[in-house]
Amino acid sequence: MTSAEYKRLLGFARRGEETLLDHYGATNPAEFFAVATECFFTQPHELAAEHHELFGVLTRLFGQDPRDWLPKSINATGSSDTDVVP
């Protein structure tokens, strides 16, 4: 599974397409793991949404789900994705 995600990132990087995962991760599989791990802990909600299977692998590997203790990111309006609009 992670091999497929690595190849996917490699394709995005070659085409110059923006992705959630930093293109540096396309350097080699070890850097892919480092980039995916950083994203897992800093942007877990986004990673789970865009790379669900990769997120699942990392959740099992690390034995935790950072979404449990990190709020969703703040959007352009300054409110969090969990704010309720009346």
What are the residue ranges spanned by the domains of the chain? 2-66
What is the C-alpha to C-alpha distance for residues 56 and 15, in angstroms, rounded to an integer? 27
**Among candidates 58, 53, 34, which has minimal Cα distance to 22?**
34
| Residue at 64: amino acid letter | Q
58, 77 Cβ separation under 8 angstroms: no
Which CATH fold topology does 2-66 show? Collagenase (Catalytic Domain) (3.40.390)
pLDDT in tens, 52-63: 999 999 999 999
pLDDT in tens, 18-64: 999 999 999 999 999 999 999 999 999 999 999 999 999 999 999 99
What is the C-alpha to C-alpha distance for residues 60 and 54, in angstroms, rounded to an integer? 10
Q: Which two tokens stand for residue 73?
A: 């990111």
**pTM, 2 dp:** 0.80
